[in-house]
Amino acid sequence: MPLIDSKALLIHALKNKYAVGAFNANNMEVAQAIIEAAELEKSPVIVQISQGAIKYAGIKCISSIVKTLAKESSVPVVCHLDHGVDYSVVVKALKAGFTSLMFDGSSLSFEENVKITKELARMAHAAGIPLEAEIGRVPDSEKGPLTLEEMKKYYTTPEEAKEFFEKTNVDSLAVSVGSAHRMKVQSAELDIDRIYEISSMVNAPLVLHGASGVKDEHVVRAIKAGITKVNFATELNKAFTNSLKEYFSQHPEIVDVRKYGESARKNVVNTVREKIQLLNSNNKADDVLKYISDNKFFESDKNLNEIVE
């Protein structure tokens, strides 16, 4: 089926207390694995493409792969831009047919972040596409795990989340509640009370970034508290790369890309299936399709080129 946008999907998840997995696709094999896992679990799925993946694979190439796979798929698929930090990349993704966007202005001042996010939300909505934005900042742990004290400096406050949401009119909000990007070990615990507080003040789907490093039990509790989109990137990179390392150690003579590509792809399918079950989005595909056909959130009759130029 054609790609769906993330608006109705995340509202359905919020109402029904489950979360949708947003999995980063950096190449064809991983994109195939994500959608195959979603089909096996009868789950809706968000395939997300980061600015880094766009730089690596090219925006047309990687988004065309996702679009083609979605078209042949039996479950609803969203093609989402993950961490668009440049205004121009968000516009390019809109033009390239992404059906969900993120602008990450978390490194900017509050005022700058509001200003650019609001403008991009207006543009995206005119084209019938939802926008995610980030308030507070989900830190990066590439240089090693952060202490709780360090993590707290990045936390989203419920007050700033409310003000940001009201001023920008975004569709979903990424919040900093204890997770960090690029964690290779699943050890982070979340500030669950903070998620409840933000949810009580912001009536919108909340997004958990850096979920690869979060303990499973905390992911489940976060969903009860209002998280409805959960991002996994490092877990998929690990599944792909570890499989290759194992394959080469057992078959050092193999040079055929398809042989080891297939083993890595299978490993990613298994990882994505586990995450889908954790988020409880399995067996929700049909309900989502019905909800989407009954609820229209955007009415856009404008030509995309009129909107973005």
Segment contacting Zn ion by CB under 5 A, of 40-48, 107-115, 201-209, 273-281: 201-209
CB nearer to Zn ion: pick between 75 and 211: 211
Q: Is 67 in the site for Zn ion (CB under 5 A)?
A: no
Q: Is 80 in the site for Zn ion (CB under 5 A)?
A: no
Q: Going residue by residue from 153 to 192, which x/- string records binding to Zn ion, judged by CB under 5 A?
A: ----------------------------------------
Active site residue 82: yes
Task: Report the residue closest to Zn ion, judged by CB.
Answer: 209
Q: Where are the alpha helices (DSSP H) in the chain?
A: 6-16, 28-41, 51-57, 59-71, 87-95, 110-126, 148-152, 158-168, 192-201, 216-225, 234-250, 257-279, 285-294, 304-308
CB nearer to Zn ion: pick between 41 and 134: 134
By three-state DSSP, how is residue 103 classified?
Answer: strand
CB 46 within 8 A of CB 295: no
Q: Radius of gyration over alpha carbons of the chain, in Å?
A: 18
Q: Is 137 in the site for Zn ion (CB under 5 A)?
A: no
Q: What tokens were used for 268?
A: 């990613």
Q: How far apart are CA 55 and CA 14, in angstroms?
A: 33
Segment contacting Zn ion by CB under 5 A, of 123-131, 147-155, 206-214, 254-262: 206-214
Closest of 116, 54, 56, 55 to residue 79, by C-alpha: 54
Q: Which of 5, 82, 104, 171 is the catalytic position?
A: 82
CB 154 within 8 A of CB 176: yes
Q: Is 209 in the site for Zn ion (CB under 5 A)?
A: yes
**Least distance CB 229 / Zn ion (angstroms):** 11
Q: Is 275 in the site for Zn ion (CB under 5 A)?
A: no
Residues that bind Zn ion (CB under 5 A): 209
